[in-house]
Amino acid sequence: MPRYLLTRVLYAIPVIWLVVSLVFLLIHIVPGDPIAQMLGEGAPAADLAAARHAYGLDLPLSQQYFNYWKGVLHGNLGLSLRYNQSVSKLLAQRYPYTLQLTVAALLVAIALSIPAGVRSARRRNDWNDRAISVVSLFGLSFPNFALGPILILLFSIKLGWLPVSGSGSFANLVLPAITMGSALAAILTRMVRTSMLEELSQDYIRTARAKGVSESVVVYRHALRNAMIPVITVLGLQFGALLAGAIVTEKIFSWPGIGRLTIDAISNRDYYVVQGCILAIGLTYVAVNFLTDLVYSVLNPRIRQ
pLDDT above 60: residue 298: yes
Residue 271 confidence (pLDDT): 81
Residue 117 confidence (pLDDT): 86
Q: What is the pLDDT of residues 127-147, one digit of tens each?
A: 877 888 888 877 777 777 788
Q: pLDDT: is 196 or 303 the higher one? A: 196
Domain regions of the chain by residue span: 87-304
- Of 160, 45, 40, 187, give the one whose Cα is nearest residue 105: 187
In CATH terms, is domain 87-304 a member of 1.20.1740.10? no
pLDDT (average), residues 8-18: 78
Q: What is the pLDDT of residues 21-66, one digit of tens each?
A: 887 887 777 777 777 777 776 777 787 788 777 777 778 888 888 8
